[in-house]
Structure 1
């Protein structure tokens, strides 16, 4: 059975729950709700598994806080013996319009502290990442307030559709592979 580690980045705690920076958690929560899965708190994160067509998807929400996500990713990749090419990390992206999707197989951290820590822990920039656009609609010097701010009513209205598309993307990654998933979802 093929295993996939799907990591949604975010920060633990009620105060972060509905923030833009927590889109990774929000996507995995939506996936779990749709498939009637329950997360269990384990070492370095909340975990649940989903089986589909001979594949096991291990969904991980690290509880290490965003800036130390690499420790949890490395631990669960190793513990579950998931090959690096079967890792998908979900993060917010200020450089993409709200709700847009970009899947890549490698690249820089783009200034994202969670991705930066993962790259340090894995000692490579060659891992699959799913960037979810949160836009850059903030004033100069207000980036932290913006990413840690809650969704606007307009964004919330459109979010369910984007969460559903994100769940489809995760399933495609496990069933069809990264290349087909990039072709099907990038820019959508």
Structure 2
């Protein structure tokens, strides 16, 4: 059986370095570990890398639509590769965790995250694995929308790069040893 690992983000160079695209950053790291490069899968409106990760057949996926429309691509990828929700891992930014934090969980609500909301609506369930990448809350009165669509500050970049590596490690751990052991190792 195949695992599907989806990194949430927005396509295009203007969004590439933003906080909202941490899911893309983690899938870039995983693709490098797999020795693969993303290519287009037109049937799913997504970019994919297929190969072995943690010894298991895995497809990395990224929607080519905007974050709030991610569910269509995720649903299409799940059908194309015959993946059940139990073998879906979604990597996303999390405002409610400080930068440098990482949490893995199964199920739960979307907590206002439009990418998660779109996936839940498209696949009919929220019961899938999540790797929540802490980006913290915006300072002062800065609107959330502006905050998530800005790059990390230079002072935050090193921490974000470390968490990107840890999130990739957590994905491999979810695949190889399951949720409980991964939570023990990575949920700080």
Answer yes or no: same fold by TM over 0.5.
Answer: yes
Gaps of 5+ in 2: none
What TM-score, normalized to structure 1? Answer: 0.93
Question: Retained in 1: the 8 A contact 2:7–2:62?
Answer: yes
Question: Retained in 1: the 8 A contact 2:34–2:52?
Answer: no
Per the TM alignment, residue 4 of structure 1 is displaced from its structure 2 partner at its CA by 0.5
Partner of 2:9: 10
Per the TM alignment, residue 137 of structure 1 is displaced from its structure 2 partner at its CA by 3.1
Q: Secondary structure at the match of 2:2?
A: strand
**In 2, Cα distance between the equivalents of 1:53 and 1:153?**
32
Write out per-residue CA displacement over residues 62-85 of structure 1, whole angstroms, 9 at most, x where no aligned residue: 111100111111111111011210
* Equivalent pairs, count: 186
- 1:15-164 to 2 correspondences below 5 Å: 15-43=14-42, 44-52=45-53, 54-164=55-165
Judging changes above 3 Å, is the alpha-carbon distance between structure 1 residues 125 and 14 closer, same or farther for their aligned structure 2 residues? same
Question: Retained in 1: the 8 A contact 2:34–2:53?
Answer: no
Q: Secondary structure at the match of 1:33?
A: helix
**In 1, Cα distance between the equivalents of 2:154 and 2:53?**
34
Per the TM alignment, residue 109 of structure 1 is displaced from its structure 2 partner at its CA by 0.2
Per the TM alignment, residue 9 of structure 1 is displaced from its structure 2 partner at its CA by 0.2
**In 2, Cα distance between the equivalents of 1:28 and 1:56?**
15
Per the TM alignment, residue 59 of structure 1 is displaced from its structure 2 partner at its CA by 0.3
Question: Retained in 2: the 8 A contact 1:57–1:174?
Answer: no
**In 2, Cα distance between the equivalents of 1:179 and 1:102?**
12
Write out per-residue CA displacement over residues 119-178 of structure 1, whole angstroms, 9 at most, x where no aligned residue: 111111211111100000333252111000011111112222211111111111111112
Q: Secondary structure at the match of 1:14?
A: coil
What TM-score, normalized to structure 2? Answer: 0.93
**In 2, Cα distance between the equivalents of 1:100 and 1:113?**
21
Question: Retained in 1: the 8 A contact 2:11–2:66?
Answer: yes
Q: Secondary structure at the match of 1:108?
A: coil
Partner of 1:174: 175
Q: Secondary structure at the match of 2:75?
A: helix
Note the aligned Cα RMSD (angstroms).
1.4
**In 2, Cα distance between the equivalents of 1:140 and 1:160?**
26
Q: Secondary structure at the match of 1:64?
A: coil
